[in-house]
Amino acid sequence: MAAELHVELVAADRSVWSGEATLVIARTTSGDIGVMPGHQPLLGVLESGPVTIRTSDGGTVVAAVHGGFLSFADNKLSLLAEIAELADEIDTQRAERALERAKSDSDAAAERRADVRLRAVSAH
Amino acid sequence: MGAQLRVYKRRIKSITATKKITKAMEMISASRIVKAQRKVAASTPYATELTRAVTAVATGSNTTHPLTTEKDNPARAAVLLLTSDRGLAGGYSANAIKAADQLSERLRGEGKEVDTYIVGRKGVAYYGFRERKIADSWTGFTDRPDYADAKRVAAPLIEAVVKDTAEGGVDELHIVFTEFVSMMTQTPVQNRMLPLSIDEKAEESGSKGEILPLFEFEPSAEDVLDALLPRYVESRIYNALLQAAASEHAARRRAMKSATDNAGELVNDLSRLANAARQAEITQEISEIVGGSAALADAAGSDR
């Protein structure tokens, strides 16, 4: 059995996902980073973007994360985000509508949020 | 019906109506406490993880940051006071305001200027009536705060902390809110949020014995701190808002429960008085009838 790391994906107001994983890919401010079991203790700033978690049973969990942190120590990875949603929870049509609306209102923050959601769904 | 009896009946009716309202408010608050407590519990994982991360950076790197370093002679402090939007919650807002007054007094005694930031209509009204200066205020969400509200409150505070003291910035950030201890007990507390003190953080995260590993920072310790501390402040404010909301509901429930009990007692007392008044009326009527018939009988006897 491959080595595992414990992942906690936590949003400000709830715990989104937790479980065992073999690889977690997230986007930090200095580029994408992949964390595997036994990684050096790490603290990073996350960019808005999809986070991909390869679970130990071979599945993949994708979540849209809007700003936050990741910290890894003792084989435990914590992903902290102000807003985090699993790809399954995202309503694609709603996100598309939001993207349209954000584009027409030229609301950069909303546009990025909707874009991240859609990317998370398509990566799923 | 006699005049007195009518007055009693009217009062009983009005008190019964009031009692219905207070009873309804009591039950609404009771259900909201549970919801608010659940929200506090849901926000705890984020807060603990964040506290761990802040502790790790603060202890694991020698970077100095305006948000962590204590100034030699702090000149200005910000006090954030959390009160409620609505009344009928017993001493809830009054107690929080009193605690904030004490804190401001102490800070002024230490030679610091105090900027007051207020959440909740009650606090704003209190300060407005006394014509005290409010640096900023927010209203409209104290019974059900969400994270966006916490962000909105935190933004100007963080800005003030980062700014130079000479340009109107603050050196310290205090928060006064009502801690939810239990359904029966809520106590106003005064906490210093910034600058952080390391021991306090270790105590909070409950990891005094735990040795934190040496972290690698991505991209750099300064950048991580820059991004981390505002989030930390937001999360602390969010937690305080949620606890204050739970306390507000608990205080309102208690106040409304005693109001309902009092109304019940009043109704009981008044019903007794009303019964006595009715009885007195009946007695009077009987004696009038008896007296009347006796007088008639007397008159008939003397005629004969």
Rg (CA), chain A: 15
Q: How far apart are CA B259 and CA B212, in angstroms?
A: 52
> Per-residue pLDDT averaged across B75-103, rounded?
92
pLDDT band at B211 (very low <50, low <70, confident <90, very high): low
Q: Which residues from B are below 8 Å from A8, CB to CB?
A: 45, 49
Q: In the A/B pair of chains, how many CB contacts fall below 8 A?
A: 87
Residue-wise pLDDT for B23-72, tens only, equals 999 999 999 999 999 999 888 888 888 887 887 777 766 666 766 677 77
How far from B104 is each of B77, B97, B154, CA to CA, in Å? Answer: 9, 10, 20
- Distance between alpha carbon B206 and the CA centroid of its chain, in Å? 27
pLDDT band at B215 (very low <50, low <70, confident <90, very high): confident
Q: How far apart are CA B165 and CA B171, in angstroms?
A: 7
Residue B198 pLDDT: 58
In the predicted model, is pLDDT for residue B208 greater than 70?
A: no
User: What DSSP string runs through B59-100?
Assistant: HH-----TTTSPPSS--EEEEEEE--SS--STTHHHHHHHHH
Closest CA–CA distance from residue A123 to any residue of chain B (Å): 24
Q: Do B217 and A11 touch (CB under 8 A)?
A: no
Query: How many of the other CB atoms lie within 10 Å of CB of A46?
Result: 23
Residue-wise pLDDT for B132-182, tens only, equals 999 999 999 998 898 889 989 999 998 888 887 777 788 888 999 999 988
Q: Which residues from B are below 8 Å from A69, CB to CB?
A: 50, 53, 224, 227-228, 231
Residue A12 is nearest to which of B212, B223, B238, comparing CB atoms? Answer: B238
Residue with the larger pLDDT of the pair B68 and B8: B8
What value does the mean pLDDT of chain B take?
A: 86
Residue B46 is nearest to which of A33, A41, A80, comparing CB atoms? Answer: A80
Are B204 and B51 a contacting pair, CB within 8 Å?
yes
In the predicted model, is pLDDT for residue B210 greater than 60?
A: no
Closest CA–CA distance from residue B54 to any residue of chain A (Å): 10
- Give the predicted TM-score (pTM) of the model: 0.83
Residue A41 is nearest to which of B49, B213, B228, comparing CB atoms? Answer: B213
Are A24 and A51 a contacting pair, CB within 8 Å?
yes
The reply to whether B50 touches chain A by the CB within 8 Å rule is: yes
The reply to whether B219 touches chain A by the CB within 8 Å rule is: yes
Query: How many of the other CB atoms lie within 10 Å of CB of A92?
Result: 12
The reply to whether B216 touches chain A by the CB within 8 Å rule is: yes
Residue with the larger pLDDT of the pair B283 and B163: B283
Residue B215 is nearest to which of A10, A11, A43, comparing CB atoms? Answer: A43
DSSP label at B230? Answer: H
Q: How far apart are CA B229 and CA A2, in angstroms?
A: 36
Burial of B3 (0-12, 13-18, 19+ CB in 10 A): exposed
pLDDT along chain A (124 residues), means of 10: 81 86 88 88 86 87 86 86 82 80 77 77 72
Helices (H) and strands (E) in chain A, counts: 2, 7
> Per-residue pLDDT averaged across B187-213, rounded?
66
Q: Do B231 and A68 touch (CB under 8 A)?
A: yes
In the predicted model, is pLDDT for residue B203 greater than 60?
A: no
Q: Do B219 and A28 touch (CB under 8 A)?
A: yes
Are B93 and B255 a contacting pair, CB within 8 Å?
no
Are B300 and B59 a contacting pair, CB within 8 Å?
no
Q: Do A43 and B218 touch (CB under 8 A)?
A: yes
For chain B, list the domains and their CATH numbers: 3-25+257-292 (1.10.287.80), 26-252 (3.40.1380.10)
Q: How far apart are CA B289 and CA B283, in angstroms?
A: 10
> Per-residue pLDDT averaged across B202-231, rounded?
69
Q: Which residues from B are below 8 Å from A10, CB to CB?
A: 45-46, 49
Q: What is the ipTM of this complex?
A: 0.77
pLDDT band at B242 (very low <50, low <70, confident <90, very high): very high
| Binding-site residues on chain A for chain B (CB distance < 8 A) | 8, 10-15, 28-30, 33, 40-45, 68-69, 71, 73-74, 78, 80, 82
Mutate to test the interface with B, among A33, A74, A82 (most CBs of B within 10 A): A82
Residue B251 pLDDT: 94
Are B246 and B84 a contacting pair, CB within 8 Å?
no
Residue B282 pLDDT: 94
